[in-house]
Amino acid sequence: MVQRVPITDVSVGATVQVVEILGGWGVRARVHSIGIRPGVMVTKVGGIAGYGPVVLQVGGTQAALGYGVCSKIVVEQVG
């Protein structure tokens, strides 16, 4: 069974597929602007469990997003 979790719960170094973006239009617009949308593969490059920015890699681009925004990005392991 595939488990869907927020990207904040994923281990650093894991590559996952985005399933959905929760939250309002502001959150969705912010993450879409850096290429994060359902169906896209994302690698979690850095972050500390429970707080602080989370560094994500989408394609060849890395971006740091706040913990709250990342908690709204629902992903699943592919594989």
Q: What are 32's strand-pairing partners?
A: none
Total number of domains in the chain: 1
In what helix (H) or strand (E) does residue 69 lie, and over which residues does it extend? helix 67-70
pLDDT score recorded for residue 79: 66
> Which residue range(s) make up the domain with 40?
4-77
pLDDT tens-digit series, residues 21-62: 998 999 999 999 999 999 999 999 998 877 889 999 999 999
Q: Is the dihedral of CA 23, 64, 42, 59 positive or negative?
A: positive
Count of residues in the chain: 79
Residue 21's CATH number? 2.30.30.90
Instruction: Name the nearest CA neighbour of 56 among 2, 13, 23.
Output: 13
